[in-house]
Amino acid sequence: MRNYRTSVLVVLSLVIILSGQGSFVARAGVQSKVRIVYLGEKQHDDPEFVTESHHQMLRSIPGSKEDAHDSMFSLVTDLPEVVYVVPNSFYELSTSRTWDYLGLSSANPKNLLNETNMGEQIIIGIIDTDTNSLYDQYVFVVVGVWPESEVFNDSGIGPVPSHWKGGCESGEMFNASHCNKNLIGAKDLDGHGTHVATIADGLFVTDISYKGLAGGTVRGGAPHAHIAMYKACWYVDDEGLLTCSSADILKAMDEAIHDGVDVLSLSLGSWVPLYGETDIRDTITTRAFHAVLKGITVVCAGGNSGPEAYTVTNTAPWIVTVAATTLDRSSVVKIQPSKTLVGQPVGTKVATFSSRGPNSIQSAILKPDIAAPGASILAATTTHSTFNDQGFMMMSGTSMAAPISGVVALLKALHRDWSPAAIDHVFNYSAAWRTDPFGEHIFAEGSPQKLADPFDYGGGLVNPEKAANPGLVYDLDVEDYVLYMCSVGYNDSSISQLVGNGTVWLESQTISS
């Protein structure tokens, strides 16, 4: 019987390879099916086995019948090696001055930015429009970053950290030679991945503006950190839509965990929360849990469905969920050739589009966790982007706020022993509550406008300097998360699927084998 099961798994692997030519059909929303087969956390210990069978994406064979696939999926589900099989689903992208505004001026030699040599030896993994540039008749080529941009040169960047296990893969329109000590990734014809990566990690580029607006120096939060890009989103030719499937997100997150990133940044999510925190169909939540157990802080966009309540997404307590605010920019208006008016800086507000709490999955968990600038953020993009100005443009969204992953990189460089839970705590504990860096009240845009509260911005506006020296740090480990899941009523089966088959809940204690 054991030999029979092994044979079935080999056949299924061959089916995946043979049907690869139609692999993008599922992303296009056509009739083809994709299934995610999860074989369990313990198998991570064998890299070769992970490569072969950690997750298999079962695609329909051209010309086959639906009932044949249903029976095949049923057969796979019954195998003792398989923890679960779930259908594929889709997520949305949550589409300068930021860092000086938050107190991380490069001119201050004693601040967090310079004390950590700008995040040196920290790897930020970004799940976006990247890793291999692949193409077929159903999909436009679109991948993660535009390596020709000045923000990704590696001048002054130290060597790639020794704990990096990944590599730079060549693909369509991208050669491995494009990678350097700053960037590990691939090309981007959309611009979203490039923009996000610039905010987190981009090097200093002077004299940049967008059509004369927001002029100055562009840089990321941790300019000397290293960026590793992972492709999870694709353009679909016949619909012109950019989609991010759970199968691709799962693969990208698994690769990032294996490669040894220190921080994971995801500027994507569903429109509103769809599943509970232990539901295996929520790829971001479940894989983020395993990343956190390995010491990787996971930062996610809170969503762009505001200002309605109960819309914040990526709400698991082990994820740092970020809301978006405005900046303090002033506008310049030329009324006539002889007169120029400079407007007063606009006070900080939680942006209208930023998704709001309360947490619709578990109201006891405050979400979002923290807020950061995400409105009209100037950063690099591709020269293929329609509205780019010499490779730079402004974008808005919680996508542009989630790159406070750059601040996480700085904190990790300063405090190597801080866990993801500790970093989440210091963000909340140290945040600017009620007022912005200039002492002005923080409002929440909407109808009507009001003073912002924790359902709008969590702990408040991120305060990197205070987070670096909070005075008090709380920590959590896997047992604390299990206690939480038990206390809110998740059953033992769902907890075991998330945490591992050897974990059970017995009245007042957690037992892990």
Pair 32, 17: CB distance under 8 Å: no
The rounded distance, in Å, linking the Cα atoms of 486 and 494 is 10
Q: Is 288 left (phi over 0), alpha (psi -120 to 50) or beta?
A: alpha
Structure tokens at 455: 């359902």
Pair 305, 311: CB distance under 8 Å: yes
Structure tokens at 80: 């003792």
- 128 is a catalytic site residue: yes
Residue 436 CB: number of other CB atoms within 10 A? 21
The rounded distance, in Å, linking the Cα atoms of 511 and 505 is 7
State the catalytic residue, choosing from 133, 149, 355, 399. Answer: 399
Q: Which amino acid is at 112?
A: L
- 369 is a catalytic site residue: no
The rounded distance, in Å, linking the Cα atoms of 127 and 129 is 7
Structure tokens at 495: 């907890």
Strand intervals (E) in 95-150: 123-128, 139-140
State the catalytic residue, choosing from 192, 195, 226, 425. Answer: 192
Q: Which amino acid is at 337?
A: P
The rounded distance, in Å, linking the Cα atoms of 190 and 213 is 22
Residue 264 φ/ψ, nearest 5 degrees: -115, 130
Collapsing DSSP states into helix, strand and coil, what is residue 341? strand
**388-396 long-range Cβ contacts below 8 angstroms, 24+ apart:** 388/191, 389/209, 389/210, 389/211, 391/146, 391/149, 391/150, 392/208, 392/209, 392/210, 392/218, 393/191, 393/195, 393/210, 394/210, 394/213, 394/214, 395/95, 395/192, 395/195, 396/95, 396/324, 396/351, 396/353
Residue 96: beta bridge partners? none
State the catalytic residue, choosing from 128, 254, 369, 424. Answer: 128
Question: What are the residue numbers of the active site?
Answer: 128, 192, 399
